[in-house]
Amino acid sequence: MNKRILVSILLLLVLSVLLAACGGGGNDVIRIGINAPLTGDNPKVGEGTKYAAEMWLEDINAAGGLEVGGKMYQVELVTEDNEYKAESATKANTKLITQDEVLLIIGPQSSQQAVPAGGVANDNKTPMISPWSTNPNTTLNRPWVFRTPFLDPFQGPVVANFATEQFGATKAAVLYDVASDYPKGLAEFFKAAWEENHGAGSVVAFESFTTKDQDFSAQLTKIKESGADFIFTPQYYSEVPLIVQQAHELGWDKPIVGSDSWGSAELVNLCGDDCDGLFFSTHYAAAGATGATKAFIDRYNEKYGYVPDDVGALTWDTLLLAQQAIQDCGEITGDLAVDRQCVRDALANIKDFHGITGDMTFTPEGDPIKCAVIVRISDAGEFEFFEQVCP
């Protein structure tokens, strides 16, 4: 009696292992991992990622799957929440790579998560494309990690040159979060670019705070006292309204300039009239877009009820890049190591990719060469195209 039970349990175990193995190495399913901040400090970023990915999957499913080398494959998206934390992002990547056995990973979005998570992907020889991370360290010395946006060493000078020409400014002030990779990196690139043009000491205030701070009055008082011509603050949409509003309350009436992290529809909701007329650098301008970009914006707007942020557009481009790389591969063998290597090589060889955020060709480092735009927040709260800056 006992033996019989033991045998049947063993049989069940063997069967389930076999089944699991089948599920893991399923032949006609391609799994793509999404590592996004669905909760935490910047949930809008995660939402934009998720929605863009859903739209892409819709297209794939409508076409009956993804065709690779004459065979149709079903595509499955495995989404993991990184809570906008570095630790959770590395954990999510490890899970996606080892447990879910995805072919490649899209995300994480912010450099704070993408820099550490990129290490995990590279060590495990799994291709990863970050749609939004602009800090150089994300892809540096990591052959398996790619990205879709431009880099901060490019964005820093773009903002510096814009402020010099537009405002005739000679003295700059910077306010940034010292505890987060993206703002800290960009603040330093901006400072270097500004001092190269205007001489040492021309950044008259270089003030910082730490993540979760809500009061910036001491730093802003210092900036006001320093006699700067404008403030550059490369912060996220949940912090910018507080900074701008507090600056105005302290009697600051000069310009405040931002970077691509400003580009969220939430910014205007949270900021109200205080942000009207301010400028920031970003990847694309939704207002006045044409062609495929407009088609994407209209479709997104109709489906989800608001104009997509740059994160949404970049995620869309990233998925199309991934799609092209998989198709360029020509064959899915079912052996993950081989397929991952093949997708990586295909990504590195993509030339003149026409994305909705601009044309891209990849450098050996895995970074695209592409243009930036300067956007003005109109009095109606729309992100208006102001000018384009190309490398």
Partner 1 sequence: MTYFLQNFVNALQWGSFYALIALGYSMVYGVLLLFNFAHGDIFMVGSYIGFFVATGLVGLSAVGVITLPYWLILVLTILISMILTAFVGMLVERVGYRPLRDAPRASAAITGLMIGVILETLNLIMLGAERYKFPELLQTEIYELGGVSVTNKKIMIVFVSLLLMYLLNLFVMKTKWGMAMRAMAYDFAVVPLMGIPLNTIAALTFGLGSALAAAASILFGTAYPVMDPYMGVTIGWKAFVAAILGGRGSIVGAAVAGFILGFIEIFSASVFPSTYRDLIAYSIILFILVFRPHGLFGQEHTSKLRL
Binding site for partner 1 (CB under 8 A): 38-41, 43-44, 46-47, 178, 207-210, 212-215, 217-219, 221-222, 225, 238-239, 241-242, 245, 248-251, 266, 269-270, 272
**Which tokens go with 367?**
């970074």
- Choice between 164 and 208, CB closer to partner 1: 208
- Count CB atoms within 10 A of the CB of residue 30: 23
SS3 123: helix
Strands 279-282 and 372-377: antiparallel
d(C-alpha 341, C-alpha 353), whole Å: 20
Q: Which is nearer to partner 1, 211 or 324 (CB)?
A: 211
Residue of 189, 180, 246 lying closest to 208 (CA atoms)? 180
- CB 53 → partner 1: shortest distance, Å? 17
Nearer to partner 1 (CB atom), residue 43 or residue 119: 43
Q: How far is the CB of 43 from partner 1 (least distance, A)?
A: 3
Whether the Cβ atoms of residue 270 and residue 238 lie closer than 8 Å to each other? yes
DSSP-H helix ranges across 274-309? 291-304
* Sign of the dihedral defined by the CA atoms of residues 267, 273, 277, 278, in that order: negative
Please count the residues of the chain: 391
- Least Å distance, CB 205 to partner 1, is 9
86 close to 113: Cβ distance less than 8 angstroms? yes
| Residue closer to partner 1, measured from CB, 246 or 281 | 246
**What is the nearest approach in angstroms of partner 1 to the Cβ of residue 115?**
20
Q: Which is nearer to partner 1, 47 or 367 (CB)?
A: 47
Smallest separation (angstroms) from partner 1 to the CB of 242: 6
Contact 217, 246 (CB under 8 A): yes
Least CB distance to partner 1 at residue 251 (A): 4
Nearer to partner 1 by Cβ, of 162 and 209: the residue is 209
What is the smallest separation between the CB atom of 41 and partner 1, expressed in angstroms? 7
In 3D space, the residue among 240, 272, 271, 253 whose CA is nearest the CA of residue 176 turns out to be: 240
DSSP code for 352: S
* Three-state SS at 66: strand
CB closer to partner 1 out of 247 and 319: 247
Strand order in the sheet with 383-389: 203-209, 172-177, 230-232, 256-258, 279-282, 372-377, 383-389
- What are the tokens at 324? 């092209």
Nearer to partner 1, 47 or 260 (CB): 47
In whole angstroms, how close is the CB of 262 to partner 1 at the nearest point?
Answer: 14
